[in-house]
Structure formats: structure tokens, C-alpha cells
Amino acid sequence: MTSKKIAVIGGGFTGLVSAYRLAEAGHKVTLYEFHNDLGGLVRGFELKNGQNIERAYHFIYKTDNYIIDLTKELGLDDKLHFHQSSIAAFYGGKIYNLVTPLDLLRFSPIPFIDRIRTGFVGLYLQNVKNWEKLTEVTAYDWLTKWNGPRATKVIWEPLLKGKFHKYYDQVTMAWLWTRIKVRQDSKDKGEQTEKLGYFDGGFEVIVAELEKRLKKRGAVIKLNTGVNKLDYKSGKPVITDSNGKHTKFDGVISTVPSPVFGQMVEGNSQAKTSYINKLKSIDYLAAVTMIISTKQKISDYYWHQIHDEDSPFLVMLSLTALTQNTDPYDGNNIYYVGDYIPHDDELFKMSEEQIIKRWYTGIDKLFPDFDPAQVDEVKVFKFGNAQHIVNVGYEAKRPSYKTPLPFTYLANFSQIYPQDRGTNYAVRDGQDVADMLLKELDKQHIA
């Protein structure tokens, strides 16, 4: 097949992998990225000592075969290490271990019979094969029925509200099942907790290697360049970028959120109103994260889930507690604090200083010994489209990878279903849509 001009919109993992596969196949690839760096939700930043870490917390499971295989292909498997996870739960201002089944039996905020019931519910969900039936009921209703109102109120409702805010009682049980299932499958035989993977140098090592290989194959990477409009001329895609430049391509892969893609193609005669409305029907939440680099060891646990509804954030985790290694950070401990919120929430509009003040108060409630004076560095980041709402009937909303538009494909995390979005499936979908486009172009060439 003659070399084709192909545009990839978005420089997250899906876009990077798509572009890499297309460039590998000998095509002329142009990658458009709105921000000044690549990585999407895995974008990193440099600490004062030059070490790169993610703006939002990330890890991989032992079952994440797509990203693990890519890591091996890129020659980076020596940088990937799996570590034993650890979980703590906060309720009523008190911390509880939640690592083993015995810990669950000791979780006194719910009656003993509900602890037993919670254990059996978890065991049942780990062994569910026919997950399709779980798409027909909300997680909140299913848990209330089978886990009981008290356990749902104490254990599940705060987590669902933290993750999905006002949509907490609309999310399908199939989504929660995948979260429980993947954690169980990531445990080694005989182990009580899952093992989670992290890279020496962070996820930036994959981003940097893909960028290097793309440039080696002649790909053009346009940073600080968004796409304002996607039109069609003589059956071929034409991109109007944020600099006002018009460029004609033989094919396009877009990896931006579905509503954003809808805005790009709106008004195009090829894009029916019904398709645009479908793209815009998917709701997204924003996210805010705060990263602290401190001399103080605040906790021995990796994951801290908050069950108190008055907490100003959803989760707090310690990267260095997971890796058991503070050396890359000059001996400092690295903590992430995060929350999901609607775009009109006051938190999303707050300044960095206001968020730090609010969340420092929240940390102090959990850990009264927390000392802000020992913090060497603190950063706050905001993400506009961080989590889509997987409600009952979501499969009807989910857009196809092949769009109704000529030689144009869409791949973003809202299409990952029933699994939750993550780097593993971003890699899978990046490869899949690249293959789909290549096959369509090949058919055209043969014809």
C-alpha cells in the first residue's frame, strides 16, 4: 500500500500507540496535541530534583497484558516492578486496616452479620461470569439489596459518591464488578492483596520512548495545537487546527473525549444530528489532584479510601509506600490526594492556594501529626474530562470506533466497556483502531 497521510488527534496513550503503529506501517503521521506535552491523563511533571512523576496517580495490574506487552516491545520491561498493595479505610475519624478477610471481620462500623455478608458478596462478584445481567441494575440498588442497607451506607455509598458525585446512584453494577474482579485477578495465588505495577522513572518512560520512535519514523508531532474542525472534501478528511491551518489527510484517528469530537464534526453534512447527540449524551466529571513531596512519613499504607462523607477529597495514596523507595525523590515521601467533581463545582474553580488550604485541613483530620512545614513541594492539577458516567443502558450510548464519517475513527476511554478506563485498555484500543484504519485504507487501495 502506498504511504498515506494520517492524522491522529490527541497525544495520550491511545493516540501515541495509534500513531506508533501507523508510522511503523510506513505511513506519514501527524499527531496533534492541545497541550505542550504528551501523555494525556498520564502526563507528568518534574519535581525539583528533576524526577518525573504523573500529575494523576497511575499503576498497572498484573493482568494488564496490553501495556505489559508494549513495555516489553519497547525494551522497558526492566523498569517495571510489581509491589504489594496495602489499603486503609477511614470512617468516623478512625483508621481501619482493610487488607485481608480478617480485617473485614474486624470492621466494627457495621454489624458482624453485615461484615459476613460483605465478604460473601465480594466472593460472589469475583466469580461472576455472566456480567451482562449486571448492566441492568445500578450498583447502589444491587448492593442495597444483596449487601444490605447498612453496609451499603457505610462502605459503598461514600466511595460511589466520591467517584461519581451526583451520579452515584446511577452507575451500573457492571462497572463496579469489573473493579472488584480486576483487583482479585491481580493477586498471586495464596496472596491476600493485589500487586500493582509502577515504572522506574514513572509512566513518562513509555511516553518518551514512543515519542522517540515516532520521530525516528518521520512522524510530525504538533504540540500546543488543537483541532478546531474536522471537515471532508472529495471524501477525504480536512483538519482545521487551532492555528487556522487546513490540512487534507487520507485518514483520521481521534482520541479526544466524545463530546469534544462531536463539536469538531458538528455542522458537517456527513455527521447526522443523531450521531452528534449520541456523542454529547455521555456525561463526564472533572478531577483535581494534589501531589505532596515531604520529608514526613505520614502513613505506611499505599491506598487510603475515605468513608466519611464530610471529607473534602475521595482518596489519598502514598506512591513511596507502594514502591518502598524514596531514593528517586531525595528521600522524600510522595503523596497524592484526589477527587472527582462536576465541572461547575466550586473546587474546580478554586485557585491552587485555596485547594491546598482546604485539603491540608482534610489531611490533618485523618493524620493529626501531619506537618505542612515538612512539605518540600506541593502541586495541584485539574483535568476537564477525567471520568465518564457509566449508567444503566450505557451500552446504547457507547459510540463505535468506526464513525459514520469517511476514513475516520474515534477511540477514547468512554468506549471501554464494561471495564474501567486505564492505560492498559488505552494501549489495546490504540492498536485496534490503527488496525481498523489500515484495513480500510488497504481495501481502498485494492479497489
Smallest CA-to-CA distance from 397 within 231, 227, 262 is with 262
For the chain, list the domains and their CATH numbers. Answer: 5-42+203-281+398-446 (3.50.50.60), 100-192 (no CATH), 196-200+284-388 (3.90.660.20)
**Spatial strand order in the sheet of 220-222:** 220-222, 28-32, 5-9, 251-254, 408-410
Which parts of 230-387 fold into alpha helices (H)? 258-265, 273-280, 319-323, 346-349, 352-366
**Mean pLDDT lowest among 50-64, 92-106, 160-174, 271-285:** 92-106
Rg (CA), the chain: 23
| Chain segment 102-142, per-residue pLDDT in tens | 999 999 999 999 999 999 998 999 889 889 999 999 999 99
Tell me: cis bond preceding 418? Omega within 30 of 0 counts: yes
Q: CB burial class (10 A; 0-12, 13-18, 19+) of residue 93?
A: exposed
State residue 150 phi and psi, 5-degree precision. -70, -50
According to the model, what pLDDT value does residue 288 have? 97
Q: CB burial class (10 A; 0-12, 13-18, 19+) of residue 382?
A: middle
94 bridge partner residues: 91
pLDDT, mean over the chain: 94
Question: Is 90 exceeded by the pLDDT of residue 3?
Answer: yes
pTM over 0.85: yes
According to the model, what pLDDT value does residue 310 have? 84
Q: Is the dihedral of CA 293, 296, 302, 308 positive or negative?
A: negative
Tell me how far apart the alpha carbons of residues 25 and 296 are, in angstroms, rounded to a whole number.
50
Smallest CA-to-CA distance from 422 within 7, 65, 78, 86 is with 65
Q: Could you tell me if 279 and 264 are in contact, meaning their C-beta atoms sit under 8 angstroms apart?
A: no
